[in-house]
Amino acid sequence: MPAHRTTRSLLLLGLLTACNGGAQTTADTSEPTEETCQIPAGEAPEFIQHIGCAEDFQALASEPIDANLPGARSVKVVQDHADSDALYFQNSVLYQIHYDFVSTHLSGDTLPLVPQLSDFNTTEYYSPERRFNLGAVTYYDGPKVYALELAPYDTASAAMIETLFRGVQKEAYFRDTLVFHPTSEAVTVEAAKLPKDIPVMSTDELYAAIDYQPLSLGSAMGRLRFLNAADLETEYVSYQEILVLDQAPNDISVVQGLITEEFQTPLSHVNVLSLNRHTPNMGLRGATTDETLRGFEGKLIELKVESSAWSIHEVTQAEAEAFWDEHKPDPVTLPSKNLDIQELVDIEAVTPEPAGGASLRDAIKESVRAFGGKAAQYSILARTDGVPIPKAFAIPVYFYEQFMVDNGFYDRIDGLLADPDFKTDATVRDQQLALLRVDMQDAPLDGAFQAKLKAKLAADYPGQTMRFRTSTNSEDLDGFPCAGCYESHTGDPADWPDVLDAIRETYASAWLFRTFEERSYYGIKHSSVAMALLVHHNFPEEEANGVAVTANPFDASGIDPAFYINVQYGGEVEVVHPPPGIASDQFLYFFGSPNQPISYLAHSSLVPAGETVLSTKQVYQLGTALDAIHHRFSSAYGPAAGNDGWYAMDIEFKFDDEADPGQPPTLYIKQARPYPGRGD
């Protein structure tokens, strides 16, 4: 039960793209007046009752647990009604949660005993008869603001909030600049009832003062290069470069690091790629004109992306070459091809339940050899209660292999790989791969395969257009997701050549330039790539489409469990890479908390102000499915498999009413794969 945990991980989640509106009062962010420090230099007591200077605050503040909170440091605060509203600023490094502090320091002797954790949770966050008011004061370096915040699931009334706020004001040197920052929709409702002299600062106001967004932390060396994202269609980039772009691209070849002027989302393709590649990725407002960055243009530099700041300095050619050599990834060996399965297989049978002591992870790995990562994991979804998916089947890798061999494409690829110009000149590689794809799109498909497919579609999917989705042994894998590497296509069986074109175009996407470069960087043998197809009815007019992570991507510690959801109205605008100026709904859903609060980080620009893409009922339906998926795959990738690190599944979903027009749209889960955001 997560309700006892104070949430710092969503205090500034407006860092993503756009923010929720509704600021009530603009805060005075002038510098507070320093008083007398209470803590001797170099010491860090377990608590103090009065913060007299910035050094006091820093001595107690915890480091950011969230890579998306630049410059944010937080001190948890406790107000004890059983002791005349005595106030305690706790050492938030030693005591990460309130319960640990109060059970240690405020239980027994002359004070009431603090109950067991479960009772504490129920009372202190949800009951009007609570003993404590619990919160945190967070300092945001961008807007230079001290903000009092509650856990998003806290049901404190406006009166309780006021009591805590005035208590903190009385005992802190920043009393005149303190603001209240609501951390969820429910807390915002109560904040609207506060007296007018308590300034309320919404997430969008905080966001407006932030110019730095760290996404994938780390350091890298490379030559600094400025481009527009649109230039990537014609310009070649090198793994020895660090790019500064105006916008976040949907796709990019391997580079050492990425800085975008436009802020990104945690689930954007380029951020997932950066996380998987272990390369730094950050957003910086005004990056393309930043004087510091422009001063290093064309030079070899080291870029460091940290949770609270970024830095850059020049390096020598020798230093850069040593870095590239040391950080070149170990070669990836793909799962071997299983060509024994030569029939079309309904999705439920693609990955059999493990038997005889075998693990789910081993079962998935075995299935990947014949059906690729997407179909192997989709098969598990098909047998998971509470997870709605479209009816589907899989075309095994055998038929891709047959297509490649029968048309001589493997021999042609071997010839390209032996060509010195192809190996050393990116322009030549791009041109030759484009010609290869053109020829693949015109090549014949085996007649017996066509007959099997035509019979399958006529028997099980009559009158339906079909989506042929890539499912290779080199994507959606644990440790190598290769996000966005391949392209899926739609075909209408009523026009049989349309189906054949869709299959051939999908097969040809295995030889896209960026995809080829990604595999080359990881030392993958290109002939080892095999593509199966996941096939289901195509939904041409979705009411909503989205992506989600089944754990809080802003919280590496696990203190604040939540689902992160990014959803957009309709199906025309890609949620992970929208056009400039288009925002989507982004929120954290605390599904495990009793009142299941929702903290909106941004709102869709495609729906009227004040509305959301999903209804409360739809959010609950989605949360139920995400919870089921998270627990189902835990035995493959999470704690149930012995993984003590950060674990989450990356989910794609849609809401569609085609099956029952006129009724509320139905949820469908499109995909599940391990998310590389934290840990292994």
**Residues 355, 650 contacting (CB under 8 angstroms):** no
Which among 497, 499, 504 has a CA at the least distance from the CA of 466? 499
Give the span between the Cα atoms of 360 and 241, in whole angstroms.
Answer: 40
With tokens 């609207």, the residue in question is 192
Domain membership flag for residue 340: no
Domain membership flag for residue 430: yes
Helix (H) or strand (E) run with residue 418 in it: helix 409-418
User: Is pLDDT of 6 > 70?
Assistant: no
Which of residues 679 and 499 earns the better pLDDT score?
499
Domain membership flag for residue 399: yes
- Over pLDDT 90: what percentage of the chain? 63
Domains contained in the chain, number: 4
User: Is pLDDT of 476 > 70?
Assistant: no
With tokens 């890579």, the residue in question is 67
Structure tokens at 188: 């915002």
On whether both 77 and 126 belong to a single domain, the answer is yes
Q: Which domain holds residue 610?
A: 544-674
Where does a domain end: 207, 236, 270? 207
Structure tokens at 223: 């030559």
On whether both 189 and 135 belong to a single domain, the answer is yes
User: Is pLDDT of 161 > 60?
Assistant: yes
User: Is pLDDT of 680 > 50?
Assistant: no
User: Is pLDDT of 263 > 60?
Assistant: yes
Domain membership flag for residue 438: yes
Give the pLDDT confidence of 419-460 residue by residue, as tens digits. Answer: 999 998 989 999 999 999 999 999 999 999 999 999 999 999
Domain membership flag for residue 679: no
> What are residue 16's phi and psi, to 5 degrees?
-85, -70
On whether both 373 and 290 belong to a single domain, the answer is no
Candidate from 32-36, 213-217, 598-602, 626-630 with smallest mean pLDDT: 32-36
Q: Which of 114-123, 234-243, 452-461 is the most confident on average?
A: 452-461
Query: 305 has which bridge partners?
Result: 218, 310
Which among 292, 281, 307, 394 has a CA at the least distance from the CA of 344? 394
Mean pLDDT of 457-484: 83
**Distance set, CA 169 to CA 47, 163, 173 (Å):** 17, 10, 8
**For the sheet containing 47-48, what is the strand order?**
47-48, 86-90, 72-80, 132-140, 145-149, 178-180
Q: Return the pLDDT at 482.
A: 67
Mean pLDDT of 474-498: 81
Give the span between the Cα atoms of 459 and 461, in whole angstroms.
Answer: 6
CA atoms within 13 A on the CB side of 410: 13
On whether both 389 and 318 belong to a single domain, the answer is no
Give the span between the Cα atoms of 309 and 287, in whole angstroms.
Answer: 14
On whether both 159 and 222 belong to a single domain, the answer is no
Q: Report the CATH number that the domain containing residue 616 is assigned in CATH.
A: 3.30.470.20
Which among 413, 414, 429, 512 has a CA at the least distance from the CA of 472? 512
- What secondary structure, in 3-state letters, does 431-497 show? HHHHHHHHHHHHCCCCHHHHHHHHHHHHHHCCCCCEEEEEEECCCCECCECCCCCCCCEEECCCCHH
> What are residue 490's phi and psi, to 5 degrees?
-115, 140
With tokens 């393309």, the residue in question is 288
Give the pLDDT confidence of 30-56 residue by residue, as tens digits. Answer: 556 667 999 999 899 999 999 999 999
Going by pLDDT thresholds of 50, 70 and 90, the confidence category of residue 483 is: low
Where does a domain end: 503, 537, 571? 537
Give the span between the Cα atoms of 227 and 235, in whole angstroms.
Answer: 9
The DSSP call for residue 3 is G
Task: Determine how many CB atoms are found less than 10 A away from the CB of residue 33.
Answer: 11
User: Is pLDDT of 481 > 90?
Assistant: no
Task: Determine how many CB atoms are found less than 10 A away from the CB of residue 169.
Answer: 15
On whether both 306 and 249 belong to a single domain, the answer is yes
On whether both 247 and 380 belong to a single domain, the answer is no
Where does a domain end: 327, 359, 383? 327
DSSP H helical ranges for 278-408: 291-294, 317-327, 360-382, 397-406
On whether both 153 and 225 belong to a single domain, the answer is no
Which of residues 75 and 662 earns the better pLDDT score?
75
Task: Determine how many CB atoms are found less than 10 A away from the CB of residue 374.
Answer: 26
Which of residues 151 and 499 earns the better pLDDT score?
499
Q: Report the CATH number that the domain containing residue 459 is assigned in CATH.
A: 3.30.1490.20
On whether both 436 and 528 belong to a single domain, the answer is yes
User: Is pLDDT of 410 > 90?
Assistant: yes
Q: Return the pLDDT at 676.
A: 74
On whether both 285 and 219 belong to a single domain, the answer is yes
Candidate from 128-137, 480-489, 518-527 with smallest mean pLDDT: 480-489
Q: Which of 61-75, 371-385, 581-595, 652-666 is the most confident on average?
A: 371-385
Domain membership flag for residue 50: yes
Which among 147, 235, 244 has a CA at the least distance from the CA of 198? 147
Q: Return the pLDDT at 90.
A: 96
Structure tokens at 303: 């870029």
On whether both 264 and 362 belong to a single domain, the answer is no
Radius of gyration of the chain, Cα coordinates, nearest whole angstrom? 27
Give the span between the Cα atoms of 339 and 397, in whole angstroms.
Answer: 7
**Residues 588, 562 contacting (CB under 8 angstroms):** yes
On whether both 529 and 581 belong to a single domain, the answer is no
Structure tokens at 180: 């209240």
